[in-house]
């Protein structure tokens, strides 16, 4: 063959798509999004503005049927994490939001032989250890019964500040399962840490810029006084957790959470020449790894913050996408090799 062969592209479906953190990262690694499902109106507006060629099912995942969806190579689902988070109600599968995990399993079963080759899940790290490990065992057993390889090594906590160039600390649990119909085993080549990358908050946050007055806190605000007491000369990001300023690791940004959308003091702060101000939603998007995210004008600011806090960071999805694409390519080479062997036997 003359010239270089173009690498094959794969397809994916997105459940609980949010504004498409997984989709953005995977698309950078030869996995294109065929369809997505999300029920929140504002998240759908942002998703549609950024993924114009994806079929978006704006509905409750519980009403979605596999027969309405094109089969895909990869299914990803960052299902709601509030009930599995250490800071949440810890009700796990006793909470309606926690039960949405079983909607993923239902769809896999509805697809039957057409089920995706790869299943990718994302949730709170506490899902693995919380409730004495019982939640994770339930997840593991449901995924295996649906026809996937899924051992303990198929789940790993990855944090953006260790595995990507982003300065945000964002530890999340990622789970990768592989269909027993398509793979000989479920081995995962997890991304390695990027230990030598120098992080610079200044590449993400405009410490010297003057922004709209509404981002600033008054000097007599009690939160101003709390943060001012811990002020350092360096460029730092300060985050309030209930009644304390969260201790920070120098040069990093604390986890951006969906709580930011509740307003008040939930958005991290910085000191700029004009005073203490919240990070803008655009700075948060950058710290989450979105370089060119479009927010439609009808999406209010509070919803933009929620969407960013809810999102998977695209750069970590990109690294996982690479591992998944490599595993799919190996599968394709194996099945091409078997087809060649069969052709030789029938000729011989």
Is residue 81 part of the annotated active site? The answer reads yes
Residue 331 contacts by C-beta under 8 Å, 6 or more apart in sequence? Answer: 117, 182, 183
Q: How far is the CB of 222 from ligand SAM (least distance, A)?
A: 31
**Residue 85 or 131 with smaller CB distance to ligand SAM:** 85
**Residue 92 or 277 with smaller CB distance to ligand SAM:** 92
Is-contact 49 294, C-beta < 8 A? yes
**Residue 217 or 303 with smaller CB distance to ligand SAM:** 303
**Residue 60 or 208 with smaller CB distance to ligand SAM:** 60
Q: What is the DSSP string of 123-187?
A: E-THHHHGGGGHHHHHHHHHHHHTTEE--GGGEEEEEHHHHSS--B--EEEEEEEEETTT-S---
Q: How far is the CB of 122 from ligand SAM (least distance, A)?
A: 6
**Residue 93 or 183 with smaller CB distance to ligand SAM:** 93
**What are the backbone angles phi and psi of residue 82, rounded to the nearest 5°?**
-55, -40
Dist. CA 9–CA 337, nearest whole Å? 19
Dist. CA 197–CA 200, nearest whole Å? 10
Q: Which residues bind ligand SAM (CB under 6 A)?
A: 16-18, 20-22, 37-40, 43, 60-62, 78, 80, 100, 310-312
**Residue 39 or 190 with smaller CB distance to ligand SAM:** 39
Tokens of 246: 């969260």
Q: Name which of 40, 130, 43 is nearest 82 in CA terms.
A: 130
Tokens of 142: 């449901």
**Radius of gyration (Cα) for the chain, nearest Å?**
22
Q: How far is the CB of 18 from ligand SAM (least distance, A)?
A: 3
Q: How far is the CB of 269 from ligand SAM (least distance, A)?
A: 24
Q: What is the DSSP string of 36-94?
A: EEE--HHHHHHHHHH-TTSEEEES-GGG--GGGS---SEEEE----GGGSTTS---GGG
Q: Name which of 25, 307, 308 is nearest 164 in CA terms.
A: 25
Q: How far is the CB of 54 from ligand SAM (least distance, A)?
A: 12
**What are the backbone angles phi and psi of residue 210, rounded to the nearest 5°?**
-100, 125
Dist. CA 271–CA 236, nearest whole Å? 8
Q: How far is the CB of 79 from ligand SAM (least distance, A)?
A: 7
From 37, 44, 81, 253, the catalytic residue: 81
Q: Which residues are catalytic, by number? A: 81
């Amino acid at each position: 063959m003359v010239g270089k062969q173009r690498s094959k592209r794969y397809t994916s479906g997105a459940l609980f798509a949010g504004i498409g953190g997984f989709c953005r990262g995977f698309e950078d690694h030869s996995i294109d999004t065929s369809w997505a499902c999300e029920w929140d109106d504002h998240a759908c507006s942002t998703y549609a503005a950024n993924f114009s060629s994806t079929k978006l099912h704006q509905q409750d995942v519980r009403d979605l049927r596999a027969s309405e969806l094109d089969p895909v190579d990869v299914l990803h689902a960052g299902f709601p994490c509030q009930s599995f988070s250490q800071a949440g109600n810890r009700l796990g599968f006793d909470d309606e939001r926690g039960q949405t995990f079983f909607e993923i399993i239902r769809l896999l079963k509805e697809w039957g032989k057409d089920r995706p080759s790869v299943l990718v899940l994302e949730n709170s790290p506490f899902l693995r250890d919380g409730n004495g490990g019982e939640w994770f065992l339930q997840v593991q057993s449901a995924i295996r019964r649906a026809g996937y390889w899924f051992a303990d090594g198929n789940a790993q906590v990855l944090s953006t500040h260790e595995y990507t160039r982003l300065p945000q600390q964002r530890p999340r649990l990622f789970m990768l399962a592989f269909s027993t119909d398509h793979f000989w085993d479920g081995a995962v080549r997890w991304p390695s840490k990027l230990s030598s990358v120098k992080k610079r908050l200044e590449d993400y946050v405009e410490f010297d810029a003057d922004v709209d007055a509404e981002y600033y806190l008054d000097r007599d605000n009690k939160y101003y006084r709390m943060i001012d007491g811990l002020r350092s000369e360096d460029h730092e990001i300060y985050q309030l957790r209930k009644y304390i300023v969260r201790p920070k690791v120098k040069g990093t940004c604390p986890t951006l959470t969906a709580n930011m959308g509740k307003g008040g003091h939930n958005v991290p702060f910085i000191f700029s020449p004009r005073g203490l101000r919240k990070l803008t939603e655009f700075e948060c998007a950058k710290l989450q790894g979105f370089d060119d995210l479009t927010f439609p004008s009808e999406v209010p600011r509070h919803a933009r913050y929620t969407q960013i806090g809810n999102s998977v960071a695209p750069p970590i999805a990109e690294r996982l996408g690479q591992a998944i694409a490599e595993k799919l390519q190996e599968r394709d080479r194996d099945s091409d090799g078997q087809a060649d062997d069969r052709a030789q036997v029938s000729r011989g």
